[in-house]
Structure 1
Amino acid sequence: MEDTTELNTSKLGTKKYWDNFYDLERKNFKENSEDTGECWFDDNDAELNMIEFLEDNLGQYNIRSDSSIMDLGTGNGHLLFELWESESFCESKNILGVDYSEESVIFATEIAKHKDLNNKIKFQQADIFQEDWNPGKFDVVLDKGTLDAIALSGIKVGDGKSTIVEKYSGVIEKLLQVNGVFLITSCNFTQEELIKIIETDSLKMFDNVRYPSFEFGGIKGSTICTIAFVKTK
């Protein structure tokens, strides 16, 4: 059976593309401090839905107002800034955005300083697949389109037969506390495909965000999906 979780490669999966992208966004920001860059999946209100999901599930597992939070592939940090401004998680002492693009991290840090949030939200450049990378464990880990971009890289690991996507759940397990929650939004994978990619013996789906669906050729679906997983052990 064809593996539908393996996508064709694209420049959107390369570090060079994102370094150039965020270099341009930084230049735009310097000219206009109100221009804080693109908000991915804005048409679907993905950020709002992710934040509302966390707010609706306060008290579930490790979702608390003082939860430690990591955003994987943070880009311009927009999701974390919106999360902080919601005031539901402003008691957190550990909010970290991570990206492998140096330009992304520089840009997000500049925005944080402009918003006077540089003491509240930190940003770090890192290759999350490096075995010696150890930022600690978090209560909540977020992904808004990062797995989508990773899947477009086409990178093989180990014996050259495994894809980097197949290593992703191991990264999430490494980052989460027991009872920690991983909340992911994707436009490239269906809910069923994400479950196949993420679920392990210790990572289990516990809920999802409901988006408007469409029907084509007798098959129902949506253009985006957001799913929450919990680390059970």
Structure 2
Amino acid sequence: MEDTTKLNTSKLGTQQYWDDFYAVEKSNFEENPQDTGECWFDDSNAEEKMVDFMLDHLGQFCIDKNSSMIDLGTGNGHLLFQLHEEGFGGKMVGVDYSFKSVEFAQEILKTQYQDSDNFEFSAADIFDPNWQPPKFDVVLDKGTLDAIALSGLKMANGESIVQAYPEVIEKLTKKDSVFLITSCNFTEAELKQIIESESLQLWQSIKYPAFRFGGQEGSTICSLAFVKK
């Protein structure tokens, strides 16, 4: 059977692309502090739906207002900032392999959220075996697996970087931790194929407007929540 989870490579999967992108975003912000950069999947209201999902499932598994969270591929930190504005006050960590994105998120934090000490932004290679983070109540991914898949990179053992991704989630989660991911490159079935294991089980999906084409129904985006058993 054909592996539909394999994507063609693209410059969007390179660190240089994101360093250049966030250098421009940071420069724009310095000229206009109201310009906090692009909100990915804004046309689908994905970020709002992810935040609403968290609010709607308070008290379930490890989700509460004091949950510790890590945002993989945090970019400008927008998702974490939105969760903070909705009253989530636990430890919020944003990691990205683009140093420029981390600098940008730190600049936004310093100028707009200077009274908040629960944020931490840092550059990290999440596939580096020497990266040993703590475990979190909630792990977030908004488009990061999409970008990772476009890199075409492989691990030292020959495993694709997409195949290695669930191992990262395993490292970051404990019993009842929730992994919430949004993708525009993978279908729900493909995300389930990539992520689900004996210990990471599909829990919920977020509904988006569907379209019909050629007798098939689908969506341009999907968000799934997995729970660590």
TM category (shorter chain) comes to over 0.9
Q: Find 2:148's aligned residue among 147, 150, 161.
A: 150
Q: Displacement, 1:120?
A: 2.5
Q: Displacement, 1:178?
A: 1.0
Task: Give matches, 1:93-108, under 5 Å.
Answer: 94-108=91-105
Q: Does 1:202 align with 2:208?
A: no
Q: Displacement, 1:157?
A: 1.7
Aligned residues: 228
Task: Give matches, 1:166-177, under 5 Å.
Answer: 166-177=163-174
SS of the residue aligned with 2:60?
Answer: coil
Q: Displacement, 1:221?
A: 0.3
Structure 2: distance between partners of 1:12 and 1:106: 19
Structure 2: distance between partners of 1:135 and 1:27: 30
SS of the residue aligned with 1:220?
Answer: strand
* TM-score, reference length from structure 2: 0.98
Structure 1: distance between partners of 2:25 and 2:3: 36
After superposition, give the CA deviation of every residue in 1:110-146 in whole Å (9 maximum; x if it has no partner): 0001112452211010000001101200000000000
SS of the residue aligned with 1:228?
Answer: strand
Structure 2 CA distance for partners of 1:229 and 1:9, relative to 1, 3 Å: same
Structure 2: distance between partners of 1:220 and 1:112: 41
Stretches of structure 1 lacking an aligned partner (at least 5 in a row): none
CA-atom RMSD in angstroms: 0.8
Structure 2: distance between partners of 1:182 and 1:68: 12
What's the counterpart of residue 137 of structure 1?
A: 135
What's the counterpart of residue 225 of structure 2?
A: 228
SS of the residue aligned with 1:157?
Answer: coil
What's the counterpart of residue 122 of structure 1?
A: 120
What's the counterpart of residue 52 of structure 1?
A: 52
Q: Which ranges of 4 or more aligned residues in structure 1 deviate by more than 6 Å?
A: none
Paired AA for residue 195 in structure 2:
I
What's the counterpart of residue 67 of structure 1?
A: 67
Paired AA for residue 208 in structure 1:
S
Structure 1: distance between partners of 2:99 and 2:153: 20
What's the counterpart of residue 34 of structure 1?
A: 34
Structure 2: distance between partners of 1:159 and 1:95: 32
* TM-score, reference length from structure 1: 0.96
Structure 2: distance between partners of 1:186 and 1:216: 20
Q: Displacement, 1:156?
A: 1.5
SS of the residue aligned with 2:181?
Answer: strand
Structure 2: distance between partners of 1:62 and 1:110: 30
Structure 1: distance between partners of 2:194 and 2:214: 26
Q: Percent identity, aligned pairs only?
A: 60
Q: Find 1:187's aligned residue among 184, 188, 191.
A: 184
